Structure 1
Amino acid sequence: MSSEENIRLIAGDAELTVTPGNGCRISSFRVAGTELLRQGERYGCFPMVPWCGRTGNGRFRSGGVEHRLPVNDPPHAIHGTGRDTAWRTARTGRAEAVFTCELGEPWPYTGLVTQTFALNEDSLTLQLGVETYDDSFPAQAGWHPWFLRHAFPDGKGARLDFVPDWQEERGPDYLPTGRRIGPMPGPWDDCFGMEDGVDVTLTWPERLELTVKSRTEWVVVYDEQEEAICVEPQSGPPNGLNTHPRLVTPIDPLEISTTWSWRRPA
């Protein structure tokens, strides 16, 4: 199937549009007709793979070899290559779909990424898998949703609720220093740790409550813009290729999932 064809999933009054030709991002997510994601070709919700957030100065080491990545957020490389790639549609149904993309230049290793979407009437589960074709390599995976702060124009802006166990101290270069500190007040462009797994709730008062959960420990929260709030579960902290390398090997792929669930207040 052409990667340029958008895929629409439906379950109950929930509707999801995936745009494989633009980084396999969710370009639209509606509940009962209300759009919950910021619109635009850079927004929606995109996969971060094969790294998440910033990789310091666009450099990382694997074994004794230093690799350089394109510096697309000077002086760093940010959010991986998956969001800039046209993905292949592998399988679709009324409420689920599977997409793949090949890893390669400018990423220095070859492999395959698979992203799966499963929509239900009150939840959405996303999965990412990263496999290698040959050499082992460090990698990360996660998602970067842009939830609309003011999804309901006649209602109040979204409220963010979560209880992290720690915050990764952010240096002046916007990279974690390696020090864990107590959670600081926002606004944030920061990584937090949750030992029992990511559990973050967005509430549009009197309208909708949406919870983002994942078994991973790390979540980046970005709420410095008035338009949107980003809640980004990911398999490691920013600059994790250097500080928390998770090796993808021929017998051990990297796998991560997240579930968004929602309910209307009684």
Structure 2
Amino acid sequence: MKRTNGRHAGALAGMLLLALAGCSKHESAADGAAGGAGAVASPEGASLAYEHDIDIQLDAAQIGARVKAITDACQAARFGDCAVLQVGQQGGEYPTGSIRVRIAPKGVEPIIGLAGQGGEVASRNTHAEDLAQQVADTALTKARLQKEHERLLAYQDNKDVKMADLLVITQRLSEIEAGVEQASKEAAQQRRRIDTQLVTMQFHTPSGQRSRSEIGEALRESGTILTTSVAFVIRAVAALLPVALIAWLFGWIGLRLWRRRQRRAARAG
């Protein structure tokens, strides 16, 4: 009987362990899915150019090093194809930093994760521009120019073409070739905007740290404010003292004259 109870207990323990292991696997899978859920990629066949704006609160002492770390990671293609477009830093009491990169979609979340390490993502905005019409217009323009180029080349090879017409055709071919080159550049730029994403990261010090800095700044400036106030009072006294002396003198003379008249009036009465 005891052996039977022991077997049942062992079986229950084994089932419990398997259940816990299964839950652990599901949680790990869920965590992994949550980690990749933030990545946004253009749907198949769509022409969407994604842009991300992230505001990060980070300790003032870490901002400069963090901007450099992101720059190095991007230039080393640590998270995939990446190009640094803009880097900025500002010191002082409230240092700030910014960096803008164009990166492959799979690298968006990792580079934002690097930017936010040890800090807080205060805000994040993602938006996309639909380039479908621009892509279609560029392709149509390029195709039209290429067809015209082919027709003019065929006409140029005609033996009956006149010299004046030949000069006009040559000039028009040059214009078409320039147009085709420009259309190719626009198509490449549009393709780059679709295949990569623009990420702008702004770094600021936390509000609490800014408040402490403001208090410290106010304490440091209190001596200067006191000195300035005392200097203002001294200047005011120095400026008003002559006027006060003259006013006192005229008042004293006026009082003496008034008293003398009073005495004369009393004697006469």
TM-score (norm 2): 0.23
Q: Based on CA coordinates, which of the two structures has the bigger radius of gyration?
A: 2
Would you tell me which structure has more helix in proportion to its own residues?
2
TM-score (norm 1): 0.23
Would you tell me which structure has more strand in proportion to its own residues?
1
